[in-house]
Amino acid sequence: MSEPHPSSTPYRVAALQMVSTPDRERNLDAAGQLIAESAAAGAKLVLLPEYFCFMGFKDTDKLAVREPHGDGPIQRFLADAARRHGVWVIGGTLPLVAPEPSRVLNTTLVFSPDGAETARYDKIHLFNFEKGSESFDEARTIRPGETVRTFEAPFGRVGLSVCYDLRFPELYRRMGDCALIVVPSAFTYTTGRAHWEMLLRARAVENQCYVLAAAQGGTHENGRRTWGHSMLVDPWGEIVAVRDEGAGVVAGDIDLARIAEVRQSLPAWRHRVLA
């Protein structure tokens, strides 16, 4: 991204917070309503949370709704929503077919306002956590991605990441100079309460850009509780907007003049020595 021009017009973005269920169609209906609400309020880019389309009772349930890349009801929903509302839609994650029949790719797809797919990112870092009765090992049912991905939005470069990726700052350095980093997530209540906000703010401060995080937020029908707190963070690490729990919309502006101001007063981006 070239140095932002201070007079650039702010660009409205929105993160959708959901409490997704084991019913794909119900989740798509809920997501559709939130996308429509965001677009009506002026958002030009909308980010959905990880697993927005499906959260089953067990990890293997996602195999039943996986789609081949390029076609399927979830992908058609995302493309149609982008086209209908004339907005960028970053589709949280959905399960795509992987080479192994017992695993999926946990994939973010980006659709431009004309409904065309413009970027794809397969989640690289897979969550593994053991504490008390909580046990998670995503590698059992998810094949990790391998490639860092960004795309060009009207206001600049957008870096794609998912949930557990947030703990690996080297991923974000490899994205290059971004105006916005997105983090669709389904952080657990335990890990979210401990680390979510500090990690999001750290990534914003380190990269001197905006961070938009769309989360699952509440108690799900499968008994899992997610942390929520979807938010937009500015390049100084200030929280622009946040929603604690429950379904809803978090919106705010990407202001290139704000990025320029932060980078001029504290030029850390230019002072990097190690790649």
Domain membership flag for residue 152: yes
Q: Give me 161's structure tokens.
A: 């990441």
Predicted pLDDT at 3: 46
Residue 214 is assigned to a structural domain of this protein: yes
d(CA 88, CA 46): 6
pLDDT at 129: 79
Which residue out of 44, 53, 123, 209 is catalytically annotated? 123
Total number of domains constituting the chain: 1
> Annotated catalytic, 50?
yes
Catalytic residue among 53, 163, 178, 209: 163
Can 152 be counted among the known catalytic residues? no
Predicted TM-score of the model (pTM) = 0.95
Residue 273 lies in a domain: no
With tokens 């957008």, the residue in question is 158
Task: Supply the CATH number for residue 161's domain.
Answer: 3.60.110.10
Q: Which domain holds residue 203?
A: 11-265
Whether residue 56 is contained in a domain is answered as yes
107 is a domain residue: yes
Find the catalytic residue in 50, 67, 138, 245: 50
Treating both helix axes as pointing N-terminal to C-terminal, what angle do 73-85 and 24-40 enclose, rounded to 10 degrees?
10
Q: Is 190 exposed, middle or buried (0-12, 13-18, 19+ CB in 10 A)?
A: middle
The predicted structure's pLDDT at residue 5: 46
Looking at residue 70, its pLDDT comes to 97
Q: Mind listing the pLDDT tens digit of every residue in the chain (275 residues)?
A: 444 444 468 999 999 999 999 999 999 999 999 999 999 999 999 999 999 999 999 999 999 999 999 999 999 999 999 999 999 999 999 999 999 999 999 999 999 999 999 999 999 999 887 777 777 789 999 999 999 999 999 999 999 999 999 999 999 999 999 999 999 999 999 999 999 999 999 999 999 999 999 999 999 999 999 999 999 999 999 999 999 999 999 999 999 999 999 999 999 988 989 86
- The answer to whether 58 is a known catalytic residue is no
